Structures are given as structure tokens and as C-alpha cells.
Structure 1
Amino acid sequence: MSSYSIKDLERISNMKAHTIRIWEQRYGLLTPGRTDTNIRYYDDEQLKKLLNVCTLLNQGMKISRISQLNKRQMAEEIDKVIAGSFQSDNHVEAIVNQALIATATFDAAMFEEAFGNAVKKFGIKKTYEKVIYPLLVRTGLLWVKDDLLPSQEHFLSNLVRQKLFAAIDSLPLPENSSQKWLLYLNEQEDHEIGLLFANYLIRQRGQNVIYLGARVPHSDLAHVVKQCRPSHIYSFIIGNHDQLDDMLRKLITDFGDSMLCLSCGNPDMRKKISEYPITQIGSIDKLIEMLNDAE
């Protein structure tokens, strides 16, 4: 059974901690445990209930009404939302919340159901833009990390990796692309989700991708760059790097003929990167804008 602070609930649900506390006091909506120092903590069932409450709130149901629903009634209301028309963002939010619940409770079948429902309604392309991308942002796996428990992170990462590989494989090979992107993670990096998602987006927009994956030695990168001459070299910096300046200088010295692009979630590291002639991609919108400019 996982344990969450009220700040964890706030981040995952997008509901303010102050509001969650009010719901506890006024409606008895959640029943947190207490540590020896009287600090609230919540389990998987509490997180699941909160996410379902948020889904029903987005559908216009009043919190006073939601608080009166028992577990079975709430499940029935959620099923109605999931089976709805999916024409509004509220229905999308319901799918994202179900995927978050699946992650928290290690329920692969629930994740598959949520993903399958989205694909049926939106198609594969919009599912990644409307569901998978917001899911990755909410769980902190796209531009930053360490927001989930390690076991949950691995569980979700592997589910999403499988879907991303399948989606990438389904794309046609680009013809006459104007850009050639080389995607890699350096020798200290393992978390591929953001890089895989970038791979999908770049390929989906008809550009060529050379995907090297995680833990690529600089010497191997240099060999590929020399042979393939990419227009863009793109990487993610997720962990802490004591030798960040040295790494950035080496990239510029060795690969300055390509456009160097980095994504990083750490504000201090982003500030340091801004001192170098490197393009920072801080969001999916920035990446899409760059790709659109090439079309």
C-alpha cells in the first residue's frame, strides 16, 4: 500500500491542498492517517477516491452530492462518464484520472481499458496528445522526475513505453524530410519516456529520427554524428550533473554544426544551460512549434 502526502494529492489531482482539507472537514470525504508527528498521509484508496471526485466535479456534479455517494454509486457515476461522448475536455480528464488510478493501484487492465477507450474515440494520434501527454505531465515523467513512488514510476513507464514503441512502429518512414533529429540520453541518464515521446512527435510530423536511447557514451555519439550529420541533436537532462558545464562545452565544441536542443526540469540547471548557445525545449508546444516551422 502506497503512502501520499497532501502535497502529493495536490500535484496528482490538480486540486489545491486547502480545498482537500476543507472537503475532509466539511464532508468527511477523505480519512487520512496521521504520523507520530500528526502529519496527514493517504493511501491508494484515498487517492483513487479523490481522483474520482475530481472527475465528477468536472462533469458539473456538486461536491455536496458527491460526498453522499457510496463506493458503488461513485463507481457507477464514473462508468457513465467514461461511456459518454468524449466530446469535451471533461471526458478527457476522466480518462487521465482513470489512468492515474491504474498507476497508483498497479492495475494494468484498468490502464489498458482507459487507453483503449481513448483510442476508440480519438484515434491513436489524439490519444497521445490528449491523454498520454497530460498523464506524463501530471506524473512528472515527461520533463522532470521523482514525483511518483519508484515502483509506480517503473510501472507507468513500462506501460507507456510499450504504447509509444507500438505507435512509433505504426508510423510510415519519412520521405524527403527537411530535418534529421538525433535523439539520445547521456551516460548518466536512464529515463527514456520524454525522449520516446519526442521521437513519436517528430516522426509523426514526417521528420527523420535517429534514436539511440539511454546511456550513450560521448564517443559513440560522436561517431553517429560524424556519419549521419543530423540537423538537430536532442537530449533530456533529468538527473543532477556535477560536471554540467563541461558536458555543455563538449557538446558545443564537438557538435556545433547541428542545432543542439535540451529539455531539463531543474530550474537551476535550465538557468545554467541558458548561458550556452543551446535551444531549450521546455514543453511539448515548443517542440511542436519547431516542427511546424520545418513544414
Structure 2
Amino acid sequence: MVVYSIKDLEKLSGIKAHTLRIWEKRYSVIMPKRTNTNIRYYEDKDLQKVLNIALLRKKGYKISKIAELSEPDIVRLTAELSEVDVAFEDHIDALSMAMFELNEFKFNKILDHYIDQNGFTHTMEEVIYPFLEKLGMMLMVGSIKSAHESFVIYFIRRKCIAAIDNIKHSHYDKGPSFVLYLAEKETHELSLLYVHYLLKKQGVEVINLGLSVPLIDVVDSCNIKKPDYIFTMINDSHGHGTLQGYLDDLLKYSNHSKIVISGYQIVANKVISHKRLLQLNSLEEIKQLIDRITTKFNN
């Protein structure tokens, strides 16, 4: 059983711990359990109720009115709000509730509605990425299990692949080509898939080798395809020997392709500059590069 402190509830719901204590005393909306040593704690059902209350308050419901509602009525109202056009912060709360329940139907319905209303790019940057940041925080405080993380990552991965497949380009007469990959022991695939989507959306030819790719396979693909650019993200600090040594080998064996690198380790470590090596420190810089490259080739 996962248990939470009142500070955990504050971090996950955005409602101050002081406010939650007042609500406990005045309205009994949640009631903490106590250990044998009298330490207060909360369970999954308490967290879900606080998340529901947070969503209702954002939509104008007063806590005094929420306290009068039965548990089924609170669940029903939040479910209804998840199906209408609400702000992206509310979608994040709704996605969190669907995740806790491992409710694929609800998770899918929330995302599909937002994508239909705002497009895939806006959904990724305004809903999915902030939600993944919240997911990371939940993992750090131990408020979710690995099953929750697997559920979310697999589901969003499917959405990314579907969005890529929905972009139709029958051939590439001109323009740049990219080889995308993640190095061995690199598993953060969602950002790589999103870059794939952004490139293909601009009409760029993309060869995606996937994750945990040995360097020799990258070299072989470059010898066959001779891409204009190679893009990779390095987030983990293991599996490459030294970061600089790995990049030196990549430059040495990649012929004349330009190397575009990003990721946590690239931002955190100093990399020796090279005329064929371009370091990007954020998603915004990646998008700007794509715009510059496609504009150059289209002129």
C-alpha cells in the first residue's frame, strides 16, 4: 500500500497543506489515518479525492458545496468536467486521476479530446510534457507504482507513433534527411518520437533507428543512407564510457553528416566544440533548428 504525508498531497494537488488541515477540521472532506506512533498518513483513495476536489475548485465550486456532495457525486462531476473543453491544468489533473485508476478509456478520451481541439503539437507541449514532469515528481515521492509509469509511457508512445503515421509524405524529392536514434542503454524514447513527428511534419525524411542502438549500427545506417544530419539525445550517465569519447567516435565514423545532440547529459557536461557538432539545450532550440533547416532547403 502506498501512503502519503500531507506534504505529498500538497505537492500532487497544488492545495496547501495548511488549507487541507482546515478542510479536515471544518468539513471532514478527508480524514488521515494514524500509525501506532501517532503519525498522520493518507492512502490512495484520499489522494484521488483531493485531486477531484482540486479540479472542482478550479471550475468554481466552493469547498463548502463540495463537502456536501457524496463520494459518487464528486466522482461523477469530475468525470463530466474531464469530457468538456477545460484548461490544460485541469486536463493534467484529469489525466492523473485516470492514471491512478489505470483507466485506459478515460485516459484516451481526455487526450483525444484535447488533440482534436488543439492539435498534437500543442497537446504534447502544454499537456503531456507538464504531465510527465508531474509523473516524475510522483515517482520521486513514491506516490505511484511502476505500473502507473508503464501505463502512461506506453500509452503516450502509441499516441506519438499514431501522430507520425498520420503525416503522409509519399516521397522526398528535396530537403534534408535525418537519422534519429538513442544510444545503448538510453530508454527515454518519447522525446525522440516527438522530434521525429516535428521533422516529418516539416516534410523532412526521417530514418528512426529506435532506442538502445549500438554505435556500429548508426555507422552502418550512415554509410547506406548518407544523411545530412544525425540526431540523438543522451540523458543517462552510463553506457557510453566518457561522453566526449562517445561523441568523438560518432564524429569520426559518421562521414560528413552533421551531429545534433541534446539531452540532460549534454546540458550538464561541457562538450568540446566541433564544426560538425551542434549542441541543443531545449525543445525550443530543437524546433528553431528544424525551422532554419527546412527554410534553407525550401528556398
**Range class of TM-score, shorter chain:** 0.7 to 0.9
- 2:187 pairs, out of 168, 187, 190, with 190
Opposite residue 244 of structure 1, the aligned amino acid is T
RMSD, matched Cα: 3.3
- Provide the secondary structure at the position in 1 that maps to 2:87: helix
Q: Work out whether 1:102 is the aligned partner of 2:101.
A: no
Q: What is the 5 A alignment of 1:164-203?
A: 164-173=160-169, 175-176=172-173, 178-203=175-200
Question: Counterparts of 2:64 and 2:248 in 1: how far apart (Å)?
Answer: 58
Asked whether the 8 Å contact 1:44–1:105 carries over to 2, the reply is: no
Q: Work out whether 1:138 is the aligned partner of 2:134.
A: yes
Residue 217 (structure 1) aligns with: 214
Question: Counterparts of 1:110 and 1:214 in 2: how far apart (Å)?
Answer: 29
Question: Counterparts of 1:279 and 1:210 in 2: how far apart (Å)?
Answer: 19
Asked whether the 8 Å contact 2:83–2:109 carries over to 1, the reply is: no
How far apart are residue 27 of structure 1 and its match?
0.7
Question: Counterparts of 1:129 and 1:74 in 2: how far apart (Å)?
Answer: 29
What whole-Å deviation, never above 9, does each CA across 1:25-64 have from its counterpart, x for those lacking one?
1112554556678776543323323333332333344455
Residue 244 (structure 1) aligns with: 242
How far apart are residue 219 of structure 1 and its match?
0.5
How far apart are residue 23 of structure 1 and its match?
2.5
- Provide the secondary structure at the position in 2 that maps to 1:182: strand
TM-score (norm 1): 0.78
Question: Counterparts of 2:23 and 2:224 in 1: how far apart (Å)?
Answer: 64
How far apart are residue 199 of structure 1 and its match?
1.3
Q: Identify the range of structure 1 (233-242 vs 196-205) with the bigger mean alpha-carbon deviation.
A: 233-242
- Provide the secondary structure at the position in 2 that maps to 1:100: helix
Extract unaligned runs of 5+ from structure 2: none
Question: Counterparts of 1:196 and 1:98 in 2: how far apart (Å)?
Answer: 24
Residue 21 (structure 1) aligns with: 17
TM-score (norm 2): 0.77
Q: How many residues align?
A: 282
Question: Counterparts of 2:269 and 2:38 in 1: how far apart (Å)?
Answer: 40
Structure with higher Rg: it is 2
Asked whether the 8 Å contact 1:51–1:97 carries over to 2, the reply is: yes
How many percent identity over aligned positions?
A: 28
Asked whether the 8 Å contact 1:47–1:101 carries over to 2, the reply is: no
Q: Identify the range of structure 1 (283-292 vs 157-166) with the bigger mean alpha-carbon deviation.
A: 283-292
